Amino acid sequence: MISTLHIKNIGIIDDLVIDLNEGFNVLTGETGAGKTLIVGALGIIAGGRFSKEMIRKGETHSFVEASIYCPQNKNAVDGNIIVSREIFLNGRNTCKINGRLVTVNELKEMMSNLIDIHGQQDNQNLLDSSKHIKYLDSFIGTIMQEKLESYVILFERYHHIRTQLNQNYGDDKERQRKLDLLRYQLNEIQKANLKVGEEEQLQEKHTLMKNSEKLQENLQNIDESLNMQAIEGVSNSIKCLEKIENCGEIYSEKLAELKNIYYEIQELSRDISGMKNEIYFDEYDRDKVEGRLDEIFSLKRKYGNSIQEILKYEEELKQEIENIENLEQINDKLKQEQEKVEEQMLILCNEMNELRCEYATELSKRINSELKELEMVHSMFRIHVSKLESGTFNLYGANKVEFMICTNTGEEEKPLIKIASGGEMSRVMLAIKTVLANIDEVPTLIFDEIDTGISGKAAKAVAEKMKIIAKNHQIICITHLPSIAAKGDYNYYISKNIQNEKTVTNIKLLNEEETISEIARIANGDITEVAIANAKELRKAS
């Protein structure tokens, strides 16, 4: 369960710490006080998407941190997991589990086993029949997940083969034109006989050529200076030291040093002289280098940004030419492989179809049982599993799954999207969530706007159902209905006020007297004696 939630710089939330508890946690309060922002923060910490517009005005980042008590989880330290996510205006975000940096996907994967958030998007998913298969597969569990993983590998290979087979080189004339172009390009590259590193060497040589006159002039001056001044000066110095070397050891040492310098200058002079002679280039050499550089530049403009890329393109040309020349044989092999892959896919699809048909009956039965407890006693929910057209596959196999419902006795069942009202949709989703939560053993369920479109007996039934779920799960629920608020084990009041000319969100855990007053407020608008009495009755019934 989530024991502590820390939210900073999200919307009007400045710095908010919420200590949550086991059982049924109910959040109520003023309109626009930040209740939905709290659910948004939980979505962020669960690895969901975020928008930088969520960052509090004037701040550079948002921060969400949750302390989760879950001793059976492999990531737990002393039974606790600390997860955090920091979001910056530049789009960068940092996720951590127990202080260890993780990716958003790693965070999302772990949190999917710890919390389940129900919001308006879930109701939208119910309206999208393409999402229904996910609910059924989730109910089936590990055995379906393993088959799907094997199937997806085959499906990706199948899709790749079909793409290759559909690759169109046109008719014979078009194919020949394509071959002529590819062969021309290959011949142009091969004729150039490019070598890796060649361009750099040519550029260096070209630089020398452009500066040959300046180089020769300066090297000539150096050569003359060394011969006429340095060598002659050092030679005279040696002669002088030879005359006084017997006057002390220090003079002998300096004589030896000076002789070494003399030999080094002589060697340097020879090197400079050689360099000077090597710098001579005639016009033919220069034209040759510039022509080769122009050739390389022309090839780079057509086939790649470097010689390495051009040579890589050369290999691709060879492969494509081979493919076109041997297109018939290649396609035959691909078709044979496609048949084998399709056979394996069909086996898995049939196995998955049997599982879906079997479990659809069981899931429908459980959801109908939940719906009866949610005051939809005359409704009949059914999961319809059908096969796709022969030879048609998608990411989930060869099935179409659609939720059907009949809300009144004697009526025809219809797709959920065509018949369910907002209140019915919320209760259907609650029924599905209840069944799946018990299967997956997700410890924390979060409900935002579960009371959409319901009131009276339906609202009471929803409240009672959530109270039952809260015996085995932590429930965090934002509500506007007194019947749901009255069932809370812990009631929190969300408010807002002005601090330093900025709106900020506050939260308070209510005592029993305050809880009754809050139930009276949301039931009646005003806290009157009659409203208080009604709130106490609701509370007593919980």
**Contact assessment for residue 218 and residue 211, using Cβ atoms and an 8 Å cutoff:** no
pLDDT band of 402, cuts 50, 70, 90 = very high
Which pLDDT does position 420 carry in this prediction?
58
Which pLDDT does position 117 carry in this prediction?
84
pLDDT band of 212, cuts 50, 70, 90 = low
Give the separation between CA 340 and CA 251, rounded to whole angstroms.
94
Give the separation between CA 309 and CA 438, rounded to whole angstroms.
56
Is pLDDT of 39 > 70?
yes
Share of the chain above pLDDT 70, in %: 93
Q: Which residue has the higher pLDDT, 400 or 472?
A: 400
Give the orientation angle of helix 307-325 with respect to helix 172-192, to 10 degrees.
150
**Contact assessment for residue 104 and residue 86, using Cβ atoms and an 8 Å cutoff:** no
Average pLDDT, the chain: 87
Give the separation between CA 224 and CA 174, rounded to whole angstroms.
70
Determine the average pLDDT of the residues in 480-484.
90
Which pLDDT does position 84 carry in this prediction?
95
Overall pTM surpassing 0.85 (yes/no): no
Element (H, E) at 94: strand 93-97
Give the separation between CA 115 and CA 83, rounded to whole angstroms.
13
Determine the average pLDDT of the residues in 61-70.
94
Determine the average pLDDT of the residues in 56-81.
90
Give the separation between CA 151 and CA 131, rounded to whole angstroms.
18
Determine the average pLDDT of the residues in 71-90.
89
* Cα angle, residue 247 at apex, residues 246 and 249 outer, rounded to 5°: 75
Contacts of 311 (CB under 8 A, 6+ apart): 189, 194, 196
Q: For 126-175, how does the pLDDT look when each residue is reduced to its tens digit (9 = 90+)? A: 778 888 999 899 899 899 999 999 999 999 999 999 888 877 666 778 88
Which pLDDT does position 375 carry in this prediction?
85
Determine the average pLDDT of the residues in 91-119.
89
DSSP string for 326-389: THHHHHHHHHHHHHHHHHHHHHHHHHHHHHHHHHHHHHHHHHHHHHHHTT-TT-EEEEEEEEPS
Is pLDDT of 32 > 80?
yes
Is pLDDT of 242 > 90?
no
Determine the average pLDDT of the residues in 438-467.
82
E-assigned strands of 431-526? 444-448, 474-478, 490-499, 502-509
Is pLDDT of 430 > 80?
yes
**C-alpha neighbours within 13 Å on the C-beta side of residue 429:** 31
Q: What single-letter DSSP state applies at residue 421?
A: -
Helices (H), 59-197: 104-111, 120-127, 132-140, 142-166, 172-192
Start-end ranges of CATH 3.40.50.300 in the chain? 1-114+444-459+474-542
Give the separation between CA 339 and CA 333, rounded to whole angstroms.
10
Contacts of 281 (CB under 8 A, 6+ apart): 208, 209, 212
* Domain 1-114+444-459+474-542, classified CATH 1.10.10.10, yes or no: no
Give the separation between CA 173 and CA 167, rounded to whole angstroms.
16
**Contact assessment for residue 196 and residue 308, using Cβ atoms and an 8 Å cutoff:** yes
Q: For 319-377, how does the pLDDT look when each residue is reduced to its tens digit (9 = 90+)? A: 989 888 888 888 889 999 999 999 999 999 999 999 999 999 999 999 999 898 888 88
Is pLDDT of 77 > 90?
no
3-state secondary structure of 483: helix
Q: For 264-309, how does the pLDDT look when each residue is reduced to its tens digit (9 = 90+)? A: 888 887 877 777 666 656 667 778 888 999 999 999 999 999 999 9
Smallest CA-to-CA distance from 478 within 85, 122, 30, 47 is with 30
Give the orientation angle of helix 327-373 with respect to helix 422-440, to 10 degrees.
100
Q: Edge to edge, what strands does the sheet with 444-448 contain?
A: 115-118, 444-448, 474-478, 24-29, 490-499, 502-509
Q: What single letter denotes the amino acid at residue 272?
A: I
Determine the average pLDDT of the residues in 79-105.
92
Give the separation between CA 16 and CA 504, rounded to whole angstroms.
9
pLDDT band of 233, cuts 50, 70, 90 = confident
**Contact assessment for residue 404 and residue 383, using Cβ atoms and an 8 Å cutoff:** yes
Q: What single letter denotes the amino acid at residue 33?
A: A
Measured from the Cβ of residue 32, the count of other Cβ atoms closer than 10 Å reads 14
